[in-house]
Structure 1
């Protein structure tokens, strides 16, 4: 990353961090873009170049965790489908687990702010679709429809596990560990407790291939 890109990333991170401080102190609805810009020592026009809406400020951390996992998976070598799905789940949860207070603040804002909730749901579906596209490119088989079907079901399973695990973790901050929950969920998938499309559904291959 060059110096210009590094500076932009630092500015983006500073704006998001200051926004979260203000949202936590004053509430989402009572915090203005002008207040966020002043706290980050940038102009409102600069803020809008990085974050077109207040909702994107709230969800920047979640978006990086989700879409960053898909980008990371794209660079990985071939792997069996269940192992690949577990790797993606654990990569996302590693990112979220590194900043639990921020994750809980996101969900608290989403619970009380319809626009944040709607954009969070959209973001989760963007992740699901991006992962399905990645899996479609990795799986091989004689029937393209079957490949697409398997990829879509697998991505949906990943999305549901992450949503369920994170919600339980958020609602029970002292009672559960996020990685323990994720491993339990994958254990159910692998053991047949939750239906999981198997690689046998895609003839001729037992792995999801790398780029």
Structure 2
């Protein structure tokens, strides 16, 4: 089952890379993967899902790793582990993920799909942050922490994709976390 799912995703990414996202059909993907179109749809309900699943799987893995950490893990360390999980997943599969990223970058219809996946993940991350603090962190503070993690992740992935260097993501995460830690990120201030 997982083998078929991966075969379909690998086939789709290869065809998208060769022919372009819009020019590739589900029937072509099915034919090259040697499965029926219904099998493709069973695993991926839309063509967009074939690309977006790379991000969704990465985010899901990071959240599950956070949930698996011991409760006594300090929250800042636990949140860093979320970023590190994303980095490890991307570095461990960088060839397919760079193709997926470039397809998303060039295809407007995928932007909305990816934003929806990221939004839902951020909400789940905020809920886990709130839970791990035993409710001592307000829901808004937890949501802001999750938004920061998502922003660091997105900017670091963009840096990695632009450079093509696997180490670029690690460096970008480090720079972004340091900017947030030191307060060097400008914050809005209401007028007096």
Q: TM-score, with normalisation over the residues of structure 2? A: 0.89
Query: Could you tell me how far 1:46 is from its partner in structure 2?
Result: 1.1
Aligned equivalent of 1:28, options 21, 36, 39: 21
Moved more, 17-26 or 178-187: 178-187
Deviations 1:163-196 (A, max 9, x none): 111112211225962112112222223333348x
Counterpart of 1:81 (choices 75, 79, 87) is 75
Alignment partner of 1:60 is 2:56 = no
Structure 1 pair 105/152, CA: closer, same or farther in 2 (3 Å)? same
Once the 2 structures are TM-superposed, how far is the Cα of residue 56 of structure 1 from its aligned partner? 0.6
Give the count of matched residue pairs.
Answer: 186
- Going from structure 1 to structure 2, the CA distance change for 1:174 and 1:14 (only over 3 Å counts) comes to closer
- Mark the runs of 5 or more structure 2 residues left unpaired by the alignment: 187-192
185-194 vs 163-172, which moves further: 185-194
Cross-structure match for 1:12? 5
Which residue of structure 1 lines up, in the alignment, with residue 145 of structure 2?
Answer: 154
1:112 maps to which residue? 106
Matched residue, 1:3: none
Indicate yes or no: 2:174 matched with 1:180. Answer: no
Which structure 1 residue ranges, 4+ long, deviate > 6 Å from structure 2?
none
Contact map agreement 2:94 2:166 (CA 8 A) in 1: no
Q: Which structure 1 residue ranges, 5 or more long, are not aligned?
A: 1-7, 196-211
Q: Distance in 1 between matches of 2:178 and 2:57?
A: 27
User: Could you tell me which residue of structure 2 aligns to residue 132 of structure 1?
Assistant: 126
Contact 1:132-1:151 within 8 A present in 2 as well: yes
1:39 to 19, 22, 32: 32
Root-mean-square deviation (CA, aligned residues, Å) is 2.0
